[in-house]
Amino acid sequence: MNKTMTLRSTLRLSALGLAATAALVTGVARAGEVEVLHWWTSGGEAKAAQALAATMKAKGHTWKDFAVAGGGGDSAMTVLKSRVVSGNPPAAAQIKGPSIQEWAREGVLTNLDDVAGPEHWDQLLPPQIAAGLKYKGHYVAAPVNVHRVNWLWVNTAVFKKAGIKPPTTWAEFFTAAEALKKAGVIPLAHGGQSWQDFTTFEDVALGVGGSAFYKKALVQLDPTALKSDTMKEVLTTFKKIKGYTDKNAPGRDWNLATAMVIRGEAGMQLMGDWAKGEFLAAGKTPGKDFECVASPGTAKDFSYNVDSLAMFQLKNPANAKAQRDLASALMSPDFQELFNLNKGSIPVRLNMPMDKFDACAKQSSKDFVESSKGGTLVPSIAHGMAVPSAVEGAIKDVVSQFWNSDKATVDDTMTKLVAAAKAQ
Ligand code: GAL
């Protein structure tokens, strides 16, 4: 064997060797760890989170799950703050709406344009949702879904036995609730936590006042709307609902309330379609075991809640690479389908085939498109889609005080709402 040959082949071999080693190194380098902080701990939520973990493992990365129990995410946000302050942020965290910009302003989030650009997120997302994921025009978070919040879940058999139909107006709701009470069933399963109280409140505001009033009062926080006759009717209707919940409701987690409807102990629940994830995880079928109807008076409206993962700046290049792979995976058609089939929501990515989804999801997808065209698409306040987190917390407290206290009057509450809307 001649030397030159050997040198060239050695070089080539070494080049090959180098490439292989480089591949190995980068391979090793490519396999990183992604730690995700979230609050998806209920049956249906956990199944969806597992779909995400599996997706990342399939890419050769290590999934580090940092789940903080507590629906609505208040506890998770408290834990996240302490981790970031102590200089130990996760790779990604479930952060939504204006909170994304609040965190970005702190300079701790990373720019995802190197993924979002080449993958055309601006073309794949509804514009108002894409805008909410950016800071100063740069993507800093990746969306996973669109939840509809204004749903009423009904136990089919309980309603049949009581001889009633799912209500479409608040008047029908109270008639149905009376019939359920007579039938010895808890009319409305509710969890007495401020985000759940406010979820019910915003459903009533949308159903009684309509989307124009909702936007004026709860998004623009207009003092005139917050102290209007319509708000009086909203608060009066809201308080009347409480009479159809049970004495054990205070502090109850949302998924335990859903379980009461699943078991037929209660007839109805007002909750976003993460509740559907619980029905599905319990092997229940829409249209057979349970019904999904728009919360009373809101069939033409859609209040949305988009879950997203905001990405923190990372020092370790392998983990930063894994983080990019996470962002890309979240928006991929396969993951968008798998996650949302389990989570109860619909894909946020436009033009996704819905053939594998059930009737509730198909309805949600159709109503999302129509409401965004018709101007009746509104952001959920209870789920952090519209107002600064300080204001969100303050108006939630006022509404829960009114729900829980027999002394709080409608007039006092309206005055307090106007004050809370100025919270910094
Ligand atoms: C929401 C979140 C949903 C669901 C719900 C109940 O804030 O966006 O994904 O988890 O809380 O925990």
How high is the pLDDT of residue 72? 87
115 CA distance to ligand 1 middle (Å)? 26
Minimum-distance ligand 1 atom for the alpha carbon of 96: 8
Nearest to 126 by CA among 372, 398, 387: 372
pTM of the entire predicted model: 0.92
> Is 68 in a helix, a strand, or coil?
coil
At residue 108, the pLDDT reads 97
Whether ligand 1 lies within 6 angstroms of the CB of 71 is answered as: yes
222 within 8 A of 216, measured Cβ to Cβ? yes
pLDDT digits (tens, 9 = 90+) for 119-176: 999 999 999 999 999 999 999 999 999 999 999 999 999 999 999 999 999 999 999 9
Q: Among 149, 196, 274, 342, name the best residue to mutate to test ligand 1's pocket (greatest count of ligand atoms within 8 A of Cβ).
A: 274
- Residues contacting 80, CB < 8 A, separation 6+: 37, 89, 90, 93, 95
Residues 318-367 pLDDT 10s? 999 999 999 999 999 999 999 999 999 999 999 999 999 999 999 999 99
In this structure, the number of other CB atoms found within 10 A of the CB of residue 19 comes to: 12
Instruction: Tell me the mean pLDDT in the region 398-404.
Output: 98
Per-residue pLDDT, averaged over 43-58, amounts to 93
By the 8 A CB rule, do 392 and 384 touch? yes
Between the CA of residue 98 and those of 46, 229, 303, 310, 381, what are the distances in Å?
Answer: 25, 29, 16, 12, 11
Question: 3-7, 218-222, 231-235: which range is least confident on average?
Answer: 3-7
pLDDT in tens, 259-305: 999 999 999 999 999 999 999 999 999 999 999 999 999 999 999 99
Share of the chain above pLDDT 90, in %: 91
Task: Give yes or no for residue 17 having a pLDDT over 80.
Answer: no
To test ligand 1's pocket by mutation, which of 197, 254, 305, 389 has the most ligand atoms within 8 angstroms of CB?
305
H-helix or E-strand spanning residue 148: strand 147-148
Ligand 1 pocket test, pick from 80, 383, 389 with the greatest ligand atom count within 8 Å of Cβ, gives 383
Q: Is the distance from CB of 146 to CB of 345 less than 8 angstroms?
A: yes
- State both tokens at 40: 């998806």
| Residues 267-295: b if buried by 16+ CB within 10 A, e if exposed | bbbbbbbbbbbbbbbeebebeebbbbbbb
What is the rounded average pLDDT of the residues 394-405?
Answer: 98
CA gap 323, 61 in Å, rounded:
9
Q: Is the CB of 191 under 6 A from ligand 1?
A: no
Report the side by side order of strands in the sheet with 147-148.
Answer: 147-148, 302-305, 377-379
pLDDT above 70 for 6: no
Strand segments (E) across 240-365: 266-270, 290-294, 302-305, 308-311
Ligand 1 centroid–CA 268 distance in Å is 19
- Does residue 340 line the site of ligand 1, with CB under 6 A? no
Strand partners, 141: 310
**pLDDT score at 335:** 96
Q: How confident is the model at residue 75 (pLDDT cuts 50, 70, 90)?
A: very high
Tokens found for residue 99 = 């909170």
- Flag whether pLDDT at 18 surpasses 50: no
Q: In a mutational test of the pocket of ligand 1, which residue from 40, 151, 253 has the highest number of ligand atoms less than 8 Å from its CB? A: 40
Query: Residue 71's pLDDT is what?
Result: 85
Question: What integer is the mean pLDDT of 237-257?
Answer: 98
CB atoms within 10 A of CB 135: 18
Whose CA is closest to atom 1 on ligand 1?
72
**Can you give the pLDDT at residue 424?**
81
Residues 6+ away with beta carbon under 8 Å from 55: 329, 332, 334, 335, 338
> Count of CB atoms within 10 A of residue 207's CB?
24
Please give the structure tokens belonging to residue 131: 């805008």
Beta-carbon contacts of 81 under 8 Å, excluding residues fewer than 6 positions away, are none
Which amino acid is present at 312? Answer: F
Ligand 1 atom at shortest distance from the alpha carbon of 305: 8
Sign of the Cα pseudo-torsion (46, 51, 56, 60, in order): positive
- Where is average pLDDT lowest: 6-10, 178-182, 416-420? 6-10
pLDDT at 25 over 60: no
Tokens 């939520």, residue located: 45
What whole-number distance in Å separates Cα of residue 380 and Cα of residue 296? 16
Tell me the DSSP string of 203-251: HHHHHHHHHHHHIIIIIS--HHHHTSHHHHHHHHHHHHHHTTS-TT-BT
How many angstroms is it from 274 CA to the middle of ligand 1? 7
Do the beta carbons of residue 132 and residue 120 sit within 8 Å? Answer: no
Mean pLDDT of the chain: 93
What does the pLDDT read at residue 9?
52
The reported pLDDT for the residue numbered 151 is 98
pLDDT tens for 160-189 read 999 999 999 999 999 999 999 999 999 999
Q: How far is the CA of 147 from the centre of ligand 1 (A)?
A: 9
* Those residues with Cβ within 8 angstroms of residue 118's Cβ, 6 or more apart along the chain or in another chain: none
Whose structure tokens read 């106007």?
A: 418
Read off the DSSP letter of residue 92. E
Tokens coding 369: 């498109």
Mutual angle of helices 229-242 and 389-404, in 10-degree steps: 60
The CA 196 to ligand 1 mean position distance, Å, reads 11
User: Is the minimum distance from the CB of 278 to ligand 1 under 6 angstroms?
Assistant: no
Q: Which of 10-19, 42-51, 156-165, 395-404 has the lowest mean pLDDT?
A: 10-19
Q: Which H or E run includes 64? A: strand 62-67
DSSP class of residue 126 equals -
C-alpha 343 to ligand 1 mean position (Å): 10
Could you give the C-alpha distances from 373 to 32, 383, 422, in angstroms and in order?
Answer: 42, 22, 31
Q: Which of 15-24, 232-241, 349-358 is predicted least confidently?
A: 15-24
Between the two ends of the chain, the Cα-to-Cα distance in Å is: 80
Nearest CA to ligand 1 atom 8: 307
Confidence check: pLDDT of 32 > 50: yes
Is the pLDDT assigned to residue 1 strictly greater than 90? no
